[in-house]
Amino acid sequence: MRRFIASGAIALSALAIGAVAIAAETEVHPPHKHWHFQGPFGTYDRAAAQRGFQVYKEVCSACHSLSLLAYRNLMDLGLSENAVKAIAADVQIPDLSDDGQPADRPGRPSDRFKKPFANELAAAAANGGKAPPDLSVIIKAREDGPNYVHALLTGYVPFDKLTPAQIKETGVTKDDNYNTFFPGHRIAMPPPLADDKVTYVDGTKATLDQEASDVVEFLAWASEPHLEDRNRTGVRVILFLLAMAGLMYAVKRQVWADKP
């Protein structure tokens, strides 16, 4: 019988290896970074995520929507109700006036984040034919999301630094953007971040790497806002089940000891 358990374990681990093999086969592997939200005890670094929100607001939001989030969600990042009200009120949300005419009004915390373009077609038309993707679940929508997005944001190579082989292989011109980690390397988005692109309100030095890490922290939170609750619940559930397994095993042994 032990043999069968062993073979079952082998089968399961083979399954896991198979899945790893599936996951492993992407184009260029982004370098592995450690994230605050990793692992069963991971949490979001609120300060980093708030800085990341500043980066999103001042840079990314010019082109990328975040349509699944509402301003009220920012309270989960540690912003006060009044701060959230102020952020929302700064935005003009399209609505109808009392006489049924289209009219903008100041945003409320219950409003979803305003999109930079009225619709998908307008977004595509303003961006060379392809709409910039919505960022609400971008970290989950890419393989190895946090590392990939960080690598992408920091992975631009200026045209004059490219080797002739790279130019030949990808056919980039002076007007294209070359990114080490983008599949096919030619990416429509010009380098969005740079050193001192934003001035952080908390005084953190805004290096390119810092900005990219912060915005990934923010977008990871946006993708999976209940991660902390999930981890907390998970630890409790597993502890409970382990205790239950111990008890069940003892009961099972007791019962079988009395076998007729």
Partner 1 sequence: MASSSIPAGAHGASGDPTRRDFLMVATGAMAAIGVAATAWPFINNLNPAADTLALSSIELNIAPIKVGQAITVKWRGKPVFIRHRTEKEIKEAEAVKMSELPDPQTDNARVTDTAKKVRPEWLIIVGVCTHLGCVPLGQNPGDPKGEYDGWFCPCHGSQYDSSGRIRKGPAPKNLAVPDYLFTTDTIVKIG
Partner 2 sequence: MASSHGAPPVFNNRVIAWIDHRLPIFSYLEKEYHTFPTPRNFNYFWNFGAIATVMLVLMIATGIVLATNYTPHVTMAFDSVERIMRDVPQGWLMRYLHMTGASFFFIAVYIHIFRGLYYGSYKAPRELLWILGVIILLLMMATAFMGYVLPWGQMSFWGATVITSLFSAIPVVGDSITTWLWGGFAIDNPTLNRFYALHYLLPFVIVAVVALHVVALHVHGSNNPLGIDVKGPQDTVPFHPYYTMKDGFGVILFLIVYCCFVFFAPDYLGDAANYIPANPLVTPTHIVPEWYFLPFYAILRAIPDKLGGVLAMFGSIGVLFVLPWLDTSRVRSCSFRPIYKWFVGLLVIDLFVLGWCGANPPEGFFVPLSRVATIYYFFHFLVLLPVLGKIERPLPLPPSIADAVLKKKAG
Nearer to partner 1, 130 or 226 (CB): 226
Helix (H) or strand (E) holding 174: none
Of 102, 133, 190, 216, the residue at the interface with partner 2 (CB under 8 A) is: 133
User: Is there binding between residue 122 and partner 2 (CB under 8 A)?
Assistant: no
Sequence-distant (≥ 6) Cβ neighbours of residue 145 within 8 angstroms: 138, 139, 220, 223
- Strand 92-96 vs strand 177-179: parallel, antiparallel, or unpaired? unpaired
Binds partner 2 (CB under 8 A): choice among 4, 82, 118, 165? 4
Cα-atom radius of gyration of the chain, to the nearest Å? 24
Number of residues engaging partner 2 in binding (CB under 8 A): 51
CA–CA gap between residue 40 and residue 66 (Å, rounded) = 27
The partner in contact with residue 96, picked from partner 1, partner 2, none with C-beta cut-offs of 5 to 8 angstroms by kind, is none
Q: Which residues contact 48 (CB under 8 A, 6 or more apart)?
A: 36, 213, 214, 217, 218
Residue 230 Cα distances to 129, 138, 226, angstroms? 39, 19, 6
Tell me the C-alpha to C-alpha distance, in Å, between residue 13 and each of 3, 6, 16, 22, 111: 15, 11, 5, 14, 46
| 32 lies in the binding site for partner 2 (CB under 8 A) | no
Shortest distance in whole angstroms from residue 113 CB to partner 1:
13
Long-range contacts of 173-177 (CB under 8 A, 24+ apart): none
Residue 237 found at the interface with partner 2 (CB under 8 A) = yes
Residue 125 binding partner per list partner 1, partner 2, none, with a CB distance cut-off of 5 to 8 Å that depends on partner kind: none
Binding site for partner 1 (CB under 8 A): 70, 72, 109-110, 240, 243-244, 247-248, 250-251, 254-255, 257-258
Minimum distance of partner 2 from residue 108's CB (angstroms): 16
Among 59, 137, 167, 208, binds partner 2 (CB under 8 A): 137
CA-based nearest residue to 109, from 126, 127, 85, 129: 85
Q: Are strands 156-157 and 177-179 parallel, antiparallel or unpaired?
A: antiparallel
Q: Does the footprint of partner 2 cover residue 255 (CB under 8 A)?
A: yes
User: Residues in the site for partner 2, rule: CB under 8 A?
Assistant: 1, 4-5, 7-8, 11-12, 14-15, 18-19, 21-22, 25, 39-40, 68, 73, 133-134, 136-137, 140-143, 145, 183, 223, 225-226, 229-231, 233-235, 237-238, 241-242, 244-245, 248-249, 251-252, 255-256, 259-260
